[in-house]
Amino acid sequence: MLPLVSVVIPFYDCPYVDQALNSVMNQTYANIEILVVDDGSTQFLDKVEPYMEKIKYIRKVNGGTATALNTGIVNASGDFFVWLSADDVFHPDKITKQIIVMLDNSGHFCHTSYSQINDKNQIIGTLKGFDFPKRIHLVNTLILGCIINGSSVMIDMGVFQSIGLFDESLRFTHDYDMWLRMLPHYEFYYLHEDLVQYRIHKNMGSTKYADEIQNEIIFVQEKHRAKTSQLVRFLQQETT
């Protein structure tokens, strides 16, 4: 039997959530469960209503994206976790292509490139991922900033049992923190294909909270500096 993939969609007052849901419904991979975690939304609930019979809908008090992701994970039944932001869209073959990579390599983590779209669904940028020739190049770049789009990832559920869930104390950089926690322990497989459409719009958090995000990035980098530096030294020795 094909592995079950749990797609977790954190939802908070997002007008594009129906487009996100449609993109999951239209996946070529069949064995999927969809968990919409409503993080205390007061708007656009009508856009979720038509899908209720096809999703697992979980409503909670507002606590931020990390809390919504963790709620989805602990209520999921799948072998693999996939995250889709409510304003983003999956390519129809995204899950199929990632499952192939994961199963062929007994992988624990896979991410993809992505395109950018605007509020009218027009493509405004392509191939925004990074295709590194060696692992050390990925590590050195990830140390400097978060280059992995959360909506592009697929993670073996066993990873969360090993290293824990997303850090709920981090409002903006829980994803970056997770990638750095995983980095010393797992191979990061990558597909240089635009399998996600990442929406750029005026209400996106990265624009509204730029200063706060930058402060959190510095905190997360310092938190992991000792382990990431140790990993770089190890990889340098491997290449000499």
Contact 174, 166 (CB under 8 A): yes
Nearest Cα to Cα of residue 96 among 154, 33, 9: 154
Displacement of CA 41 from its chain's centroid (Å) = 21
Residue 205 has pLDDT above 80, yes or no: no
Strand partners, 189: 110
What are the tens digits of pLDDT across the range 116-175?
999 999 999 999 999 999 999 999 999 999 999 999 999 999 999 999 999 999 999 999
Nearest Cα to Cα of residue 119 among 234, 16, 215, 231: 16
Torsion of the alpha carbons at 67, 212, 130 and 24, rounded to the nearest 10: 30
Nearest Cα to Cα of residue 16 among 121, 125, 113: 121
Which pLDDT score, from 0 to 100, does residue 195 have?
98
User: What distance in Å separates the CA atoms of residue 145 and residue 59, rounded to the nearest whole number?
Assistant: 32
In this structure, which amino acid lies at residue 187? E
pTM, two decimal places: 0.96
CA atoms within 13 A on the CB side of 158: 6
